[in-house]
Amino acid sequence: MSPQAILLPLLVQVTMTFAIGFWMAGLRVSAVRSRAVHPRDIALREPNWPPRILQIQNAFHNQLEMPVLFYVLTILALFTKLADLAFVLLAWLFVALRVLHAYVHVTTNNVPRRGRWFLASCAVIAVMWLIFAIRILLVW
């Protein structure tokens, strides 16, 4: 597989993370400027943001957690040349599930639905790591 094909799902995941992060930052700046939030109330990371901002913040933080395993695995698979079509397809599935998870997180925030997308993405990344581990131990 070409490096572009391997890295494109990673770049989509990174783009989504930045988009949610910039959205969160814009909401925070607006809340402070409109005096809905006073800087002293959030200076030490207290959770004193309005609920909608906390919702977007939580979605952003979640994009910095599980996807780390995806980033590391993608770099390792690229470096070891063990990324094939199956890897790329699973990578796209992982990213699609993360997009669905993030969408639910920033819209309805339906916890059971969000949880299903989260668990599905966890299962996909676990399978990806298992396949990689088997290949690295038996093939490489």
Residues 81-120: tens digit of each pLDDT? 999 999 999 999 999 999 999 999 999 999 999 999 999 9
Per-position pLDDT tens, the chain of length 140: 899 999 999 999 999 999 999 999 999 999 999 999 999 888 887 888 999 999 999 999 999 999 999 999 999 999 999 999 999 999 999 999 999 999 999 999 999 999 999 999 999 999 999 999 999 999 76
To the question of pTM greater than 0.85 for the whole model, the response is yes
**Taking the mean position of all CA atoms in its chain, how far away is CA 40?**
30
Quote the number of domains for the chain: 1
Q: How far apart are the first and last CA of the chain?
A: 17
H or E, element range at 82: none
Query: What CATH number corresponds to the domain at position 130?
Result: 1.20.120.550
Domain of 46 in residue numbering reads as 3-138
